[in-house]
Amino acid sequence: MVEITVNGKKYQVDKGITILEACNRLGISIPTLCNDDRLEPYGACRLCVVEIKGRRNLEASCSTKVRDGMEIETHSEKVIKARKEILDLLYSNHPEDCLTCEKAGECKLMDYCYEYGIKKGSYIGEKKKYPIDESNPFYYYDPNKCILCGKCVRVCRDLQGTSAIAFKNRGFNTKVSTPFDMGLATSDCVSCGNCVANCPVGALMPKKPEKFRTWEVKKVKTTCIYCGVGCQMYLLVKGNRVVGVEPARGKANNGLMCVKGRFGYGFINHPDRLKTPLIKRNGKFEEATWEEAYDLIVNKIKEIREKYGPDSLGGLSSAKCTNEENYLFQKMFRALIGTNNVDHCARL
Binding site for ligand FES (CB under 6 A): 32-35, 43-48, 60, 62
Residue with smaller CB distance to ligand FES, 49 or 196: 49
Question: 48 or 217: whose CB is closer to ligand FES?
Answer: 48
Closer CB to ligand FES, residue 44 or residue 152?
44
The nearest distance, CB 66 to ligand FES, in angstroms, is 15
Quick one: 61 or 160, whose CB is closer to ligand FES?
A: 61
Pick the closer one to ligand FES by CB: 60 or 159: 60
Are 207 and 265 in contact by the 8 Å Cβ rule? The answer is no
Smallest gap from Cβ 25 to ligand FES, in A, equals 16
Smallest gap from residue 35 Cβ to ligand FES (A): 4
In degrees and rounded to multiples of 5, residue 302 shows phi and psi of -60, -45
Q: Minimum distance from CB of 137 to ligand FES (Å)?
A: 31
Closest separation in Å from C-beta 145 to ligand FES: 17
**Residue 238 and residue 248 in contact, taking contact as beta carbons nearer than 8 Å:** no
22's CB contacts (< 8 A; 6+ apart) are 4, 6, 11, 13, 14, 66
> What is the strand order of the sheet 2-6 is part of?
9-13, 2-6, 71-73, 49-52, 59-60
Residue closer to ligand FES by CB (options 35, 326) is 35
CA distance 191 to 158: 16
CA 118/CA 83 separation, integer angstroms: 10
Vertex 28 angle, CA 73 and 75, to 5°: 30
Least Cβ distance, residue 147 to ligand FES (angstroms): 10
Q: What is the smallest separation between the CB atom of 105 and ligand FES, expressed in angstroms?
A: 22
Smallest distance, ligand FES to C-beta of residue 62, A: 3
Residues 122, 162: Cα–Cα separation, whole Å:
38
User: Which is nearer to ligand FES, 45 or 245 (by Cβ)?
Assistant: 45
Q: Cα–Cα distance between 255 and 11 in angstroms, integer?
A: 31
Backbone phi, psi, residue 280, to 5°: -85, 115
Q: Which is nearer to ligand FES, 46 or 334 (CB)?
A: 46
